[in-house]
Amino acid sequence: MIEIGREAPMFNLRDEQENEVRLSDYRGRWVVLYFYPKDNTPGCTTEALEFTSLEAEFFAQNAVVMGISADSCASHQKFVIGHHLQIKLLSDPERTVLKAYDAWGQKKLYGKSFLGITRSTVLVDPAGRIAWHWPKVKAVGHAAVVLERLRTLQK
């Protein structure tokens, strides 16, 4: 369970270029981990584009943005290239990190229940602790909300 103030679950995943990425590599920086269902879908594209448009502002706040889904590295690479994304996308095909961050579980759509990725975001502080958690989010406008919370926490 994700709880503000607790140590963020460590991970080691591959990015869109198949480079190994560890959360511990970012100690000393703020880390925005946003979890999304699927590359190249309307809501996920909107969210990725909004985070990309604010990437320089996140960088100015000593923050890095990383999107995580169960899609493959190859799928992520096509998504990044096709939409000129400036953020890192991480592949979690075994859903280990998704589960550790409460982003995998029961969902309902049109009355049917199924397992899937919950669109959610976790903000990790420079010491590696959970600073904020958005358990269910709407794609539109979410990146700006995260940036504002980051600024507030840094005051």
Active site residue ranges: 44
Q: Determine whether 90 is exposed, middle or buried from the number of CB atoms within 10 Å of its CB (0-12, 13-18, 19+).
A: buried
Q: What is the rounded distance in angstroms from the CA atom of residue 84 to the CA atom of residue 17?
A: 14
Q: State the burial class of residue 140 (Cβ atoms within 10 Å of its Cβ: 0-12, 13-18, 19+).
A: exposed
